[in-house]
Amino acid sequence: MTRMRTMKEFSLIINGDSVATSDHFDVINPADKSVVARCPKATVEQLNEAIVAAKAAFPAWSALTYAERRAKLMQLADALEAKSNAFMTLLTQEQGKPTKGFADLGAGFELGGTLAWIRSTASMELMPETIQDNEIAHIAIHRKALGVVGSITPWNYPLLMGIWHMIPALITGNTVIIKPSEMTPLTTLYFGKIAKDILPKGVLNVVTGAAGEIGEAMSSHKDIDKIVFTGSTPTGKAIMKSAANSLKRLTLELGGNDAGIVLADADIEAVAGKIFATAFINNGQTCAALKRLYVHESVHDQLCEALTNIAGSVKTGNGLDVDTDFGPLQNEKQLDIVKALAQDAKERGANFLCGGKVINETGYFYPITLVNNIQDGARLVDEEQFGPILPIIKFKDVEEAIASANRLAVGLGGSVWSTDIKRAQDVASRLECGTVWINNHAMVQPDAPFGGVKDSGFGVAFGEAGLKEFTSIQTMQTFKS
């Protein structure tokens, strides 16, 4: 795909049609700061057209059976899979992640997850729940689609997270308007282009715009019945305020700063690779990545050495290069955040085991960085870095580590690493987070509910619990006399 052709083929998807705009904005390749494409910039009027189309399409789409909607979504998965190479290349160009990447966790991983999530979620179904059936009455709980769902997605997993929002909404009978991040809109626009020839008109609409305007208009619009958002806590709070006037349903997966606790009996040789992979998955740009590592003093030095050895074996570079393990950060703003957190750690006397200095300025590159001799209170520990730098904090007593893990306002994920599973589970149960892993981290799957607590948001994704987020309850009571 040449750059000129790429620039010509992107358009909004409204009511099953490709819609041009009078204004555009640049999408930047973070590996070399070149322009990947000119992205259509929607007006609020075009958003309103999409909302009208989605509302008009809702009655017919929601009236279909699960089997009928499932057939369309499975067809969509097949069409996406047929374009796998194009999607992976575009994903690398706009987001930066390598095609393969460290531990096969690059663009191929995101595409594979996308296909798995479509097919798994589309296979699910919410059946009526009978709570009484006797000679007096039959009482059942039915689940009904909400209407028009607005999806606002981030830039770290643009294709996969779009699917996490769209597919449960669609299979339960809702229609969708999705606004991807202005940093990474291209794979979502390409997905919409494929979907418009498979789904009925108006069922899925893709509207792209610059930061703020379109998202704000969506969250306040009276004819959007639900917003599902993945992103920062401040933006989530702003969405709640905008949604209040229409009592809009919300699912918010917000910021995290996941803690991992490595107990004294952990098998360091066995877990070091997993800890490294789950801390630096997607170059650390993962909501539920391991971001604070608390390590018992008896195994601290051994783990630091093991992680440093792994770091020395990987390559950071352009994601289109076949031997690249980690790509750039997605944007300059995020790079600046990582650099500022590293500088604060240096000023506090932290020890940099590796990395910590930009050596490639052709793109938004930052090397894999490990930092120890650091404590709670440092910005690198207390703030979500969302990049390839991991603070390692030594502890003596597990109660100390639990208190440290729980002291922040966020609560997305957490983990405990130990050979004593029962003890690990006991510690894990005391962590204040929506998901906790034993001897792993950041691993999600389509049938296991996932969501945050505290300032990490509310509502869940995945599984039957995730489907229910896109429905309302209607209790039907039938009396027999």
Residue by residue, DSSP assigns 90-141 as: HHHHHH---SS-GGG-SHHHHHHHHHHHHHHHHT-----EEEEESSSEEEEE
* Mean pLDDT value across residues 325-345: 98
Take residue 342 and report the two structure tokens written for it: 């590293």
* Mean pLDDT value across residues 180-185: 98
* Mean pLDDT value across residues 153-174: 98
Q: What is the model's pLDDT at position 3? A: 38
Structure confidence by residue, pLDDT tens digits, 375-429: 999 999 999 999 999 999 999 999 999 999 999 999 999 999 999 999 999 999 9
Residue with tokens 């494409």: 37
Burial of 188 (0-12, 13-18, 19+ CB in 10 A): buried
Picking from 29, 101, 442, the residue whose alpha carbon sits closest to that of residue 283 is 101
* Mean pLDDT value across residues 297-321: 98
CB 348 within 8 A of CB 378: yes
Active site residues: 253, 287
Cα–Cα separations (whole angstroms), residue 161 to 30, 115, 192, 273, 369:
20, 12, 14, 26, 27
Q: What is the model's pLDDT at position 8? A: 54
CB 53 within 8 A of CB 15: yes
CA distance 74 to 76: 5
Task: Supply the DSSP symbol for 32.
Answer: T
Answer yes or no: is pLDDT of 2 > 70: no
Q: What is the model's pLDDT at position 7? A: 46
CA dihedral 45, 47, 48, 51 (to 10 degrees): 170
Radius of gyration of the chain (CA): 23
Q: Write the DSSP string, 194-251.
A: HHTTTSPTTSEEE---STTHHHHHHHH-TT--EEEEES-HHHHHHHHHHHGGGT-EEE
Q: What angle do CA 298, 300, 304 make, to 5 degrees?
A: 150
Conformation bin of residue 160: beta by default, left when phi > 0, alpha when psi is -120 to 50? alpha
Q: What angle do CA 168, 172, 174 make, to 5 degrees?
A: 90
Answer yes or no: is pLDDT of 231 > 80: yes
CA distance 141 to 476: 6
* Mean pLDDT value across residues 147-176: 98
3-254+456-476: CATH topology is Aldehyde Dehydrogenase; Chain A, domain 1 (3.40.605)
Measured in whole angstroms, how far is the alpha carbon of residue 433 from the centre of its chain?
Answer: 16
CATH superfamily entry for domain 258-445: Aldehyde Dehydrogenase; Chain A, domain 2 (3.40.309.10)
Q: What is the model's pLDDT at position 481? A: 78
CB 140 within 8 A of CB 130: yes
Which residue spans of the chain are classified as CATH 3.40.309.10?
A: 258-445
Q: What is the model's pLDDT at position 233? A: 95
Answer yes or no: is pLDDT of 211 > 90: no
Answer yes or no: is pLDDT of 6 > 70: no
CB 181 within 8 A of CB 155: yes
* Mean pLDDT value across residues 140-169: 98
Picking from 36, 39, 114, the residue whose alpha carbon sits closest to that of residue 80 is 114
Structure confidence by residue, pLDDT tens digits, 62-73: 999 999 999 999
* Confidence bin at 212 (pLDDT 50/70/90): confident
Percentage of the chain lying above the pLDDT 90 cut: 97
Please provide residue 129's backbone torsions phi and psi, each rounded to the nearest 5 degrees. -110, 115
Which residue spans of the chain are classified as CATH 3.40.605.10?
A: 3-254+456-476
Structure confidence by residue, pLDDT tens digits, 73-108: 999 999 999 999 999 999 999 999 999 999 999 999
Percentage of the chain lying above the pLDDT 70 cut: 98
Q: What is the model's pLDDT at position 358? A: 96
